[in-house]
Amino acid sequence: MSDEYILEVSNLRQYFPIRSGFLQRVVGQIKAVDGVSFAVKQNEVLGLVGESGCGKTTVGRTVLRLYDPTAGEIWYRTRSGERVNVAQLPPGELKPLRREMRMIFQDPFSSLNPRRTVKELIGEPLQIHRVARGRALEERVAQLMAEVGLDPAYMERYPHEFSGGQRQRIGIARTLSLSPRLIIADEPVSALDVSVQAQVLNLLQSLKDEFGLTLLFIAHDLSVVEHISDRIAVMYVGKIVEMAPAEELLRRPLHPYAEALVSAVPPADPDLQSRRIILEGDVPSPANPPAGCVFHPRCRYANSGSCRTVEPPLQEVEPGHFVACHLAKELHLAGIGG
Ligand SMILES: Nc1ncnc2c1ncn2[C@@H]1O[C@H](COP(=O)(O)OP(=O)(O)O)[C@@H](O)[C@H]1O
Ligand SMILES: [Mg+2]
């Protein structure tokens, strides 16, 4: 891993307007991403986890400028070593970056056009970016299929002729076709059978090593990202509440929400009793988040003072270990293995 950051996101906000009535007036904001900062080193995997609706996909899409951010900076180091703020780039200058930064989507069923052959699907980015055509295109598609463990003999087939895991492989080949450097993998295995998930995770891991890729790996489940991630960031209602090296976060979570997520990870040793923490109540709406710490209404440790009134900042409490909790220094939370 290089020490250079390939991506540095600072204070990112993505608010969506809520419109109402005949005139469609803006009556509120959904604060889908509300002040998120993180950085990813070249060839590193940063896992981004949190319950559905906490803003993970919005972070990914905003980093790729599929949305214009409400606020914040997205510094990306290009292949040629230049640092650009993706948040501010004019649309005309985004195209070359779209080759370097790519997304793998959650659902391999709906993200592939059913009327296109595998050859067309994998070859399309190469055509759009005028990288290859004709014979060269076909050769590149065959090479990509082999790379992701698909038989190139099937390139004239359609997506429905493949299983879910194979379809996700097609999606990955499509993502890889332009030799990207940064991949945002948005729940790439969530729609797959458990038995197939590990195969696709292993494939992503080996492709990452082979091509020196950098990954932002999004999942709602900590057990999916624990092995592939170097570091893990935990999101809750639009904010990162804890970020640490993966092992450290699992062994010694410092945020009560992270503790609950860790408690849901099945223990490696089946004899160890897992003490799963069931969170009471619902995830608050990002249109109307609670005052103070966003997690306090569901937190079993919350006090009636600062937790309810003061928003805790994300602070580095130990080298590389960040947490946003007023009580982080007092609590002794349980991690994996005790
Ligand atoms: N395009 C959009 N317009 C309005 N609200 C959105 C849009 N995309 C996401 N949201 C809302 O933003 C919040 C975060 O969504 P999302 O990023 O999809 O979460 P996750 O990927 O963690 O499940 C949710 O409340 C969702 O309903
Ligand atoms: Mg999502």
The residue among 258, 277, 167, 187 whose CA lies nearest residue 228 is 187
Does ligand 1 have an atom closer than 6 angstroms to the CB of 28? no
Q: 98 in a domain, yes or no?
A: no
- Closest atom of ligand 1 relative to the 55 alpha carbon: 17
pLDDT for the residue numbered 274: 67
pLDDT tens for 116-175 read 999 999 999 999 988 888 999 999 999 999 999 999 999 999 999 999 999 999 999 999
Total number of domains constituting the chain:
1
CA dihedral 239, 245, 248, 249 (to 10 degrees): 20
Which residue, judged by its Cα, is nearest atom 4 of ligand 1? 16
pLDDT for the residue numbered 246: 97
Q: What percent of the chain has pLDDT over 70?
A: 98
Q: 35 in a domain, yes or no?
A: no
Residue 281: left (phi > 0), alpha (psi -120 to 50), or beta?
A: left
Does ligand 1 have an atom closer than 6 angstroms to the CB of 53? yes
Q: pTM for this structure?
A: 0.94
CA dihedral 69, 75, 229, 285 (to 10 degrees): -20
Does the pLDDT at position 20 exceed 80? yes
Furthest-apart CA atoms within the chain: distance in Å: 69
Does ligand 1 have an atom closer than 6 angstroms to the CB of 48? no
Q: 315 in a domain, yes or no?
A: yes
Does the pLDDT at position 338 exceed 80? no
pLDDT tens for 69-128 read 999 999 999 999 999 999 999 999 999 999 999 999 888 778 899 999 999 999 999 999
Q: Which residue has the higher pLDDT, 272 or 196?
A: 196
pLDDT for the residue numbered 2: 58
pLDDT for the residue numbered 108: 74
Q: 233 in a domain, yes or no?
A: no
Amino acid identity for residue 141 in this structure: V
Q: Identify whether the C-beta of residue 17 lies closer than 8 Å to the C-beta of residue 29.
A: yes
Q: From the CA of 55, how far away is ligand 1's center (Å)? A: 6
pLDDT for the residue numbered 329: 94
Does the pLDDT at position 188 exceed 80? yes
pLDDT for the residue numbered 268: 74
Structural domain that includes position 332: 255-338
Does the pLDDT at position 337 exceed 80? no
Which of 60-74, 232-246, 253-267 has the lowest average pLDDT? 253-267
Instruction: Extract the tokens encoding 134.
Output: 């004709």
Q: 129 in a domain, yes or no?
A: no
Q: 282 in a domain, yes or no?
A: yes
Which residue, judged by its Cα, is nearest atom 16 of ligand 1? 55
Burial of 25-62, coded b for 16+ CB within 10 Å and e otherwise, reads eeeebbbbbbbbbbebbbbbbbbbbbbebbbbbbbbbb
Q: From the CA of 171, how far away is ligand 2's center (Å)? A: 17
Q: 9 in a domain, yes or no?
A: no
Which residue, judged by its Cα, is nearest atom 11 of ligand 1? 32
User: Which ligand has the shortest distance to the CA of 190?
Assistant: 2
Q: Which mutation among 12, 52, 58 tests ligand 1's pocket best, with the greatest number of atoms within 8 A of CB?
A: 58
**Residue 142 Cα distances to 129, 150, 158, 179, angstroms:** 18, 9, 15, 15
Q: 295 in a domain, yes or no?
A: yes
